């Protein structure tokens, strides 16, 4: 399979308030697609968007694997958000889980500590 770009999306009830929360999580959006959708380019070939869709809000799951999970969690904490949950799987892979006010789950995964 050839892949040029992946867009992952999260639906929210009220865009203006959700945008504030996601800016604390991800920083400033890369661009606004329209009045109720913001896009963050997270890496070459990967973007995340947040869009107002009240009827389907709160049921999204996204996990982003990062090079340095501890640094990412510290960066987000500096903007005022702490993970709702921190997990370590049996293989040592770690995950920091954040849940937005609508219940969407955005997780950041990282390699086992000894693998870094």
Question: Is the residue at 1 inside a domain?
Answer: no
Residue 4, classed as helix, strand or coil, is coil
DSSP 49-114: EEEE-GGGTT--EEEEE-S-HHHHHHHHHHTT---SEEEE-TTS-EEEEEE-TT--EEEEEE--GG
The predicted-structure confidence for 76-111, as pLDDT tens digits, reads as follows 999 999 999 999 999 999 999 999 999 999 999 999
Number of structural domains the chain divides into: 1
The β-bridge relationship of strands 94-99 and 105-110 is antiparallel
Q: What is the pTM of this model?
A: 0.91
Question: Which two tokens mark 59?
Answer: 């049921």
Question: Is the residue at 92 inside a domain?
Answer: yes
CA dihedral 108, 109, 114, 115 (to 10 degrees): -120
Confidence tier at 116 by pLDDT (50, 70, 90): low
The predicted-structure confidence for 43-52, as pLDDT tens digits, reads as follows 999 999 999 9
pLDDT the model gives residue 115: 58
Question: Is the residue at 71 inside a domain?
Answer: yes
- HSE-CB at 9 with a 13 A cutoff on CA atoms is 11
Check which CATH number belongs to the domain holding 41 and give it: 3.10.180.10
Confidence tier at 19 by pLDDT (50, 70, 90): very high
**Whether the predicted pLDDT of 2 surpasses 90:** no
The predicted-structure confidence for 65-78, as pLDDT tens digits, reads as follows 999 999 999 999 99
What integer best gives the mean pLDDT of the chain?
Answer: 95
Question: Is the residue at 56 inside a domain?
Answer: yes
């Amino acid at each position: 399979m050839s892949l040029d770009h992946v867009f992952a999306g999260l639906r929210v009830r009220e865009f203006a308030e959700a945008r504030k929360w996601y800016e604390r999580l991800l920083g400033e959006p890369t661009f606004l697609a329209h009045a109720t959708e913001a896009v963050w380019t997270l890496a070459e070939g990967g973007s995340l968007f947040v869009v107002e869709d009240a009827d389907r809000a709160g049921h999204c799951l996204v996990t982003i694997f990062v090079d340095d999970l501890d640094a990412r969690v510290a960066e987000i904490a500096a903007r005022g958000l702490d993970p709702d949950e921190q997990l370590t799987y049996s293989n040592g892979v770690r995950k920091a889980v954040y849940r937005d006010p609508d219940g969407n789950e955005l997780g950041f995964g990282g390699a086992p500590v000894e693998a870094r």
